Structure 1
Amino acid sequence: MNILMWEEFVAHPEAGPWAVAIGVFDGVHLGHRRLVQAVLEASSGYKSAVVTFRENPKKILRPTGFKGDISGLGGRLEALASLGLDSCVLIDFSLDFGTLLGAEFLKFLAGAGVKSVHIGPNFRCGHKMETNAQSMAAMGAALGVAVTIVDPVLRAGHPVSSSRIRNAILEGAVDEAALLLGRPHRIFVDENGNLDRAVVAPPPGLYRVALHGKDWSVPGVAELSSAGLRIEGECEGLISLDFINLVSREL
């Protein structure tokens, strides 16, 4: 999967035509995977891509209320690449970019050679989120861009969403989060064995996990507390851990 910056993407319409999905893709969960599948199914004669952000816009727009990413940029790109896309377009979101109207954003896409856009029903973009999915579809028709609103994936009668997954993780329901993600919640660790603080972590407790090194993976048990992360047994060279389920909140 090729990585393109937004400025490069819009400057080279000859690289298209494109079929794209647009979104933050935090966690690349089951709903995101349905969006990507819709792009791949519609991309006969088109190149396939997602248009997303290097950093979650909420970090800039609402920094004090942002609870953390489900997955960092590296994890998102790895998950997206596994789905068979040709490219990923990254936007460096800023307050200045946030003043762009939805109609202007769509015109940039059309000018870049985008012919097919796929979005979820709760999609919003533009200054102060003034453009919704239905508005995108109407404006796209006038620009020769087919905008498809893709139905959400439902689990237990409710749409799969990044907010739902984030809340499940924060409540310690990592097994529920795994069902919505389509895989366990993964957090990378630094050379000192500390969890990546930019990624949302479950609350203190004892968890069954899968431990991953450069060329090894083993099951294990991890304790999260105010003192940090503690792994039972040897885990030299630990790179990341997948949270399988909560064993106990009692430490």
Structure 2
Amino acid sequence: MRVIYGVNKIRKFPNPVVALGVFDGVHLGHKRILQEAVSTAKKIKGTSIILTFDPHPQSEDSICSLEHRLNLISRIGLDVCIVIRFDKRFSQVTARDFMVKILYRRINPRYLLVGKNFTFGRNAQGDFNLLKKFSQRYNFKLKAFDIVKIGSRPVSSTYIRNLILAGKLNEAGRLLSRPVNILGEVARGESLGKVLGFPTANIDPHHEIIPPSGIYIVKVHLANRIFKGVCYIGKRPTFKNTGLRLKNNIEVHILNFHKNIYGKKIEIHFFDKIREDKRFKSAVELAKQIKKDVICAQKANL
């Protein structure tokens, strides 16, 4: 998938089929739209394009960072991704200017695919009805998708964010059609895990929403390989001065793995929660519990 950053770098593509939206989380509803863009482009020998925005126009907390989102989108098979930076200046672009100056003049789509609740332009002036008028004026076919539901639950990024923050990872995973996961970079830490006999990779999650504190059974995707692991999210209450941290630490012990991976990209998929975080009387007691956690992960049928 070719990625283009910025409006000025957009060029014309043959028979563009454009999926328009943020697509945070790339959940079931998003996949339906994106897969339709791919299949439609193939039918008309065109170009499947996603036009998306970063950062998220309506939320500081994202299910996926931009890099993670692009990673997930690329697996669906789109040809091109155009990323527009959503800054203060762009937020003042009117719905009409967005349609005429960016979508029509820069891309000139044959098909435009959106979710029915999609809004755009300054103060969210643009909606499906306005898109319908523009589609008639500029001669492109508009397809709007209803919100997907599983049972009575709407599949929406906002709802999924709330599920993750509440620790309801299995339910969030069903709406995402994959386990809840985070993409991050392995950073240098204080080597406390190594001291305890269970070395861990400290993860910088790139501003993604993370699950609540606790100890989780996970799968670790690293350099095209997959490992079982135990992920710790918390403030290390057993150790002095570490429980005062404002943000949770994210550490993962990768089973049967001993290489140096500082600076490497790592993707962590969350499965079952083993237990809550707690303070132990000593590092020795903590090490005994971690050993039990590791055995639990080893036995897990993932």
Matches within 5 A, 1:94-243: 94-107=87-100, 108-111=102-105, 112-187=107-182, 188-192=184-188, 193-196=202-205, 198-227=207-236, 228-232=249-253, 236=258, 237=261, 239-243=266-270
Code of the aligned partner of 2:2: N
What is the deviation of 1:17?
2.6
Q: TM-score, normalised by structure 1?
A: 0.88
Q: Which has the larger radius of gyration?
A: 2
In 2, Cα distance between equivalents of 1:83 and 1:169: 23
In 2, Cα distance between equivalents of 1:137 and 1:152: 18
Q: Report what 1:93 is aligned to.
A: 86
Q: TM-score, normalised by structure 2?
A: 0.74
| 1:8 paired to 2:9 | yes
Ranges in structure 2 where 5+ consecutive residues have no aligned partner: 189-201, 237-248, 279-302
In 1, Cα distance between equivalents of 2:135 and 2:94: 14
What is the deviation of 1:208?
1.7
The 8 Å contact of residues 3 and 89 in structure 1, kept in 2 or not, is answered as yes
The 8 Å contact of residues 175 and 244 in structure 1, kept in 2 or not, is answered as yes
- Between the two structures, name the one with larger relative contact order (CA 8 Å, sep ≥ 6): 1
In 1, Cα distance between equivalents of 2:151 and 2:185: 32
Identity of aligned residues (%): 27
Q: Report what 1:45 is aligned to.
A: 45
Q: Report what 1:57 is aligned to.
A: 57
Q: Report what 1:17 is aligned to.
A: 15
In 2, Cα distance between equivalents of 1:197 and 1:79: 15
Deviations 1:114-170, CA, capped at 9 Å, x for gaps: 121100011000100011122212222122122211122211322211111111110
Code of the aligned partner of 1:242: H
Matches within 5 A, 1:64-83: 66=60, 68-83=61-76
Q: Report what 1:63 is aligned to.
A: none
Code of the aligned partner of 1:249: E
In 2, Cα distance between equivalents of 1:19 and 1:154: 25
The 8 Å contact of residues 187 and 204 in structure 2, kept in 1 or not, is answered as no
Deviations 1:163-208, CA, capped at 9 Å, x for gaps: 1111111011111121111111222243221341500001112222
Moved more, 235-244 or 103-112: 235-244
The alignment of Structure 1 onto Structure 2 pairs a total of residues equal to: 241
In 2, Cα distance between equivalents of 1:150 and 1:35: 7
SS in 2 for 1:243: strand
In 2, Cα distance between equivalents of 1:182 and 1:76: 14
What is the deviation of 1:113?
2.1
Deviations 1:13-32, CA, capped at 9 Å, x for gaps: 3x333110111111111111
In 2, Cα distance between equivalents of 1:26 and 1:164: 12
In 2, Cα distance between equivalents of 1:84 and 1:169: 27
The 8 Å contact of residues 141 and 147 in structure 1, kept in 2 or not, is answered as no
SS in 2 for 1:124: coil
In 1, Cα distance between equivalents of 2:203 and 2:232: 12
